[in-house]
Chains A and B, each alone.
Chain A
Amino acid sequence: MVACRAIGILSRFSAFRILRSRGYICRNFTGSSALLTRTHINYGVKGDVAVVRINSPNSKVNTLSKELHSEFSEVMNEIWASDQIRSAVLISSKPGCFIAGADINMLAACKTLQEVTQLSQEAQRIVEKLEKSTKPIVAAINGSCLGGGLEVGVPAALDMMLTGRSIRADRAKKMGLVDQLVEPLGPGLKPPEERTMEYLEEVAITFAKGLADKKISPKRDKGLVETFYFTELTAYAMTIPFVRQQVYKKVEEKVRKQTKGLYPAPLKIIDVVKTGIEQGSDAGYLSESQKFGELVMTKESKALMGLYHGQVLCKKNKFGAPQKDVKHLAILGAGLMGAGIAQVSVDKGLKTILKDATLTALDRGQQQVFKGLNDKVKKKALTSFERDSIFSNLTGQLDYQGFEKADMVIEAVFEDLSLKHRVLKEVEAVIPDHCIFASNTSALPISEIAAVSKRPEKVIGMHYFSPVDKMQLLEIITTEKTSKDTSASAVAVGLKQGKVIIVVKDGPGFYTTRCLAPMMSEVIRILQEGVDPKKLDSLTTSFGFPVGAATLVDEVGVDVAKHVAEDLGKVFGERFGGGNPELLTQMVSKGFLGRKSGKGFYIYQEGVKRKDLNSDMDSILASLKLPPKSEVSSDEDIQFRLVTRFVNEAVMCLQEGILATPAEGDIGAVFGLGFPPCLGGPFRFVDLYGAQKTVDRLKKYEAAYGKQFTPCQLLADHANSPNKKFYQ
């Protein structure tokens, strides 16, 4: 289900490709009803070269829909039948997108496995025809070419098939995915994008002609599987069946390790490739279309498609355009969060002030931003010049100079209400009237922070997740008094920073922290019951969490976790109980703050990848030991104790109106807290797993532990009426 999540961009290059593929992979095309007028594809003939232009109407991207497919096969048949035409060029009319992949709505519309299989088979037929075409075909690609689009344009390599990773064009050329690169043009006699497309077409036509006249030979003698995984020497070894078996086994092992068996697609892809190589391409194609059909029908597929739709929704500004664009940003506090926010701001061209109280803290923060950018240079995602030019958007300072020009101030100082009050008052004395004050806090209610503000309508919460440059989520918190324009501005800034945004109402812990807290409390209890942190980590990751529960506490910071647990514990009382917060208190007092202090549940050393348990924790854990309850302590029960507390709290947030929609709840949980993506988020989980089953689980644990597991009203309602779903 790679196509669902990977709508990426094929970088700054354009590329083109002579079709002569040997790939076995093709998916998701279809063709049924022939339309009279062509709306998706048109073609013209230039000399003896047919230029086929793909253009899905009313859409920013071209997707492989039924209409596109049927028109495409019509057009190709005409081209093959025509005597005039000796070669063809495939090109998109949309700059920046060749074909983004299968139309997800088309797949979602399929009710049965057979329907999907049929779609896939028809698609295979046309791709097979393209491959066997007697007339040379050149695919001129500018921008995203993914999923099925990749199959039209290029055959896929094993690694790409398995991970759905986006590949930069220059790398694609090295891998042999594309034959030539055309670099984008600058200003000329037309807008650059337009002229670049024209140029790409011109070059592709020259190549098509050259191929038809046999002046150019499509030099690509190595198949992709060989080029990508093996050197020429080992390519020979691949002809020996025994060696092949070993290779399949190795790849399968690696995939199993990475996916923990939670994502069915990669394993099926290996199966299909295996069938194709061992039993010939016909068997491969047949197996592929069937497996594809099976995959589309899986829960995982539904969950991931749901996330895709949710993500699209959370990339829009529902408050509309703000009155004033934020151009000057100021950030208070150069800690991990502050510097992280600065990094994602400067690289989008925002002039950013990073202020801290001490030079040491400021130095560390500026170095963090530089390192973040420099790592991109090492990966060749930026040039060193671009890095320098981006870095010059950042001003590090210890005073409030320049704040009079700021359009928005984001404070990321320590989580302490009186400190936040102090900086709010200080800042309000120097900023202009229109300037927005945003607080990056994970748990302190925004309305309490805003209580000392002269203009509470300009105060809002912007909760970023650490590490800011990697985590996609931004949780924006509005109070009763926050104005609509302030919200619009905050969302606009977040979108500019590349974030996926959920907007929630103010309340203790907002949405994300509030869901996490009961789960963390359960983590502590489980540890107290004698489960070792390594075991706990493996239980959680095998359930689909990207980071194990104990490691997560170390990453977040034990002191932060303690703060949150205390604050929310006071507000929500017994329902947030379970584990003894004394565990965290003792850890903090011993300086075990997690990764940042080098010790937490694990020991962290610079440059050492292996994580060892922190043996000093043994005495703390021993002193707080609880007897485990055997009826709820199986591996599965431990996993469900964690997940159901999370899910129950999420549903309660929707019930209380903290969340506006279940979709935002799912996006927040998956992108901010690492809720297993294959489950699609807490609300999707309830829909797919079943509300009744969820409630049954909760009740079982309630019997053992009490109130903390009492299902909330909304969840109970769903359990009582099976037709009720969060997603219709």
Chain B
Amino acid sequence: MTTILTYPFKNLPAASKWALRFSIRPLSCSSQLRAAPAVQTKTKKTLAKPNIRNVVVVDGVRTPFLLSGTSYKDLMPHDLARAALTGLLHRTSVPKEVVDYIIFGTVIQEVKTSNVAREAALGAGFSDKTPAHTVTMACISANQAMTTGVGLIASGQCDVIVAGGVELMSDIPIRHSRKMRKLMLDLNKAKSMGQRLSLISKFRFNFLAPELPAVAEFSTNETMGHSADRLAAAFAVSRLEQDEYALRSHSLAKKAQDEGLLSDVVPFKVPGKDTVTKDNGIRPSSLEQMAKLKPAFIKPYGTVTAANSSFLTDGASAVLIMAEEKALAMGYKPKAYLRDFMYVSQDPKDQLLLGPTYATPKVLEKAGLTINDIDAFEFHEAFSGQILANFKAMDSDWFAENYMSRKTKVGLPPLEKFNNWGGSLSLGHPFGATGCRLVMAAANRLRKEGGQYGLVAACAAGGQGHAMIVEAYPK
């Protein structure tokens, strides 16, 4: 069935590819119709809860995720976010006046557009009567944007929400040093020439040393890669295992890209540049090539390298979330339900990246499911070592007993259901935007591969984590 479906895509000339993207929805709908019996045979209960409104994701899009410093490098974050929003408008044809609220996630903020959601929405043609706010929760910022929307709908405050995320790592706010800032601010207030001169006389050349935002924990001062390397060592994850996993991610992403499965990607005409149609970080290599790289963080004996880590990425994503009855009333065929979700947090020093291990059992228990009920796993891949350490933790009774107060282990996600279309290692990881990509990948995979439940999970700086159940929308 897959071959039949993907066949026409494969043979499309590249230039017209983007134009035909919009036909994906009807096509995939029909596939879902055919797949429906397979889903039904499982006859699982649905996770609808009495007296709580069902929340559905109608559809979602993202800009192509690019290595930072490439085609998006001259943009501002709200430009990218706007591209995702216009893409969503285009894809769903949602009338802009029905959108009640817009929420975006972002991590490294451009101070000029600190509420990037609002700036992007204004430019994207949404109504100026639709309020917007921006949230931040490190790598799970977009997840937070979506679950905030879920909360607003479930509590009856809103019916239609646009949630998304954006990150532009090509440009980061490099600041003057605190001393320099203080001097400049004091100069502003100085009234007389004498005051000004006496302030200027305090200037020292080291004031000019810039302050860079670090991808390091504020609390521990440890960079995330360093922590990932220690985590991998704590779980005895070898360099080879990490390289193998990274290779798997790139190979699967390449395959998905070639087969046109990454249907959430919308083309983006970058001002002054060519239209960008696909992710550019997918680079399947060989184990031999990867083995040559030197460790990037713990030198010279660490195991985390540039090849088995996610790379700095520019990108934006957006999803349309509605109350189920509203979506149906508007004639939409939603893609999936957004069900139970869970946020967790733990020690930011030694368990920084173990969020998925902690969040998974909790969200499953909340939903009354087991790990065997999940048909599509979509986990955020920050580092190969992080994913594999989480696997080992989830597969360990000892860890479950000693650190999670559980009697038995969480259980290992079967690899054949895990990140089948690539992950953050290969597709890229724009911090604020990854969450929506995970949800759309889970929803699209459920439709494509058949199955009822998807599990989205991610770790985030600060030692936090998130997991959410995505349920396929029945036909």
Contact surface of A with B, Cβ cutoff 8 Å: 180, 183, 185-192, 195, 199, 203, 206-207, 383, 385
Contact = CB atoms under 8 A, between A and B. Distances in A.
Question: 9 closest pairs, A vs B, by CB?
Answer: A186-B350, A188-B234, A185-B234, A385-B219, A188-B235, A203-B301, A199-B233, A189-B396, A187-B403
Contacts of B220: 383, 385
Interface in B224-256: 230-231, 233-236
A188 B218 contact: no
Contact of B398 (A180, A190, A199): A190
A189 B231 contact: no
A185 B399 contact: no
A13 B298 CA distance: 14
Nearest to B230: A185
A192 B234 contact: yes
B301 A206 contact: yes
B347 interface: yes
B177 interface: no
A186 B396 contact: no
A189 B301 contact: no
Contacts of A187: 234, 350-351, 399, 402-403
A206 B396 CA distance: 27
B221 A383 contact: yes
B147 to A, nearest CB: 28
B350 A185 contact: yes
A189 B350 contact: no
Given A183-B230, A199-B233, A189 B221 contact: no
Contacts of B399: 187-189
A188 B236 CA distance: 8
Contacts of B402: 187, 191
Contacts of A186: 230-231, 234, 347, 349-351
A141 to B, nearest CB: 16
B392 interface: yes
Nearest to B222: A183
Contacts of B219: 383, 385
Contacts of A192: 234, 350
B263 to A, nearest CB: 39
A253 to B, nearest CB: 35
B377 to A, nearest CB: 22
Contacts of B396: 189
A666 B221 CA distance: 44
Interface string B200-221: 0000000000000000001111
Given A183-B230, A385-B218, A189 B398 contact: yes
Interface residues of B, number: 25
A199 B298 CA distance: 13
Interface in B99-152: none
A185 B403 contact: no
9 contacts: A186-B230, A186-B349, A186-B350, A187-B350, A187-B402, A188-B236, A192-B350, A195-B233, A385-B218
A121 B221 CA distance: 46
Contacts of B301: 180, 203, 206-207
A195 B399 CA distance: 13
A206 B219 CA distance: 32
A180 B295 CA distance: 15
A190 B398 CA distance: 8
A328 B396 CA distance: 37
Contacts of B231: 186, 188
Contacts of B221: 383, 385
A189 B235 CA distance: 6
Nearest to B302: A203
A48 to B, nearest CB: 19
A71 to B, nearest CB: 30
Interface in B401-418: 402-403
A189 B218 CA distance: 27
Nearest to B396: A189
Given A186-B349, A187-B403, A195 B234 contact: yes
Contacts of B298: 183
A207 B221 CA distance: 28
A264 B219 CA distance: 46
A191 B350 CA distance: 12
A549 to B, nearest CB: 45
A186 B233 CA distance: 9
A180 to B, nearest CB: 7
B299 to A, nearest CB: 9
Interface in B295-340: 298, 300-301
Given A207-B301, A383-B221, 7 more contacts: A183-B298, A186-B349, A187-B351, A188-B393, A189-B234, A195-B233, A385-B221
B53 to A, nearest CB: 40
A206 B303 CA distance: 13
B233 A185 contact: yes
A189 B230 contact: no
Contacts of A206: 301
Interface in B278-305: 298, 300-301
A431 B218 CA distance: 39
A206 B389 CA distance: 22
Nearest to A383: B221
Contacts of A180: 300-301
Nearest to B395: A189
Nearest to B350: A186
Interface centre among A188, A190, A195, A207 (most CB of B within 10 A): A188
B292 to A, nearest CB: 14
Contacts of B389: 188
A133 B105 CA distance: 60
Contacts of A207: 301
Nearest to B351: A186
A195 to B, nearest CB: 6
Contacts of A191: 402
Nearest to A189: B396
A195 B393 CA distance: 14
A191 B402 CA distance: 9
A383 B218 CA distance: 10
Nearest to A195: B234
B389 to A, nearest CB: 8
B409 to A, nearest CB: 11
Interface in B328-383: 347, 349-351
Nearest to B235: A188
Interface core residue of B218, B230, B231, B398 (most chain A CB under 10 Å): B230
A203 B347 CA distance: 25
B78 to A, nearest CB: 32
A183 B297 CA distance: 12
Contacts of B235: 188-189
Contacts of A190: 398
Contacts of B392: 188-189
A199 B232 CA distance: 11
B6 to A, nearest CB: 41
Contacts of B236: 188-189, 195
Nearest to A181: B298
A211 to B, nearest CB: 13
A183 B233 CA distance: 10
A188 B230 CA distance: 10
B294 to A, nearest CB: 13
A9 B393 CA distance: 31
A378 to B, nearest CB: 15
A717 B252 CA distance: 91
Nearest to A188: B234
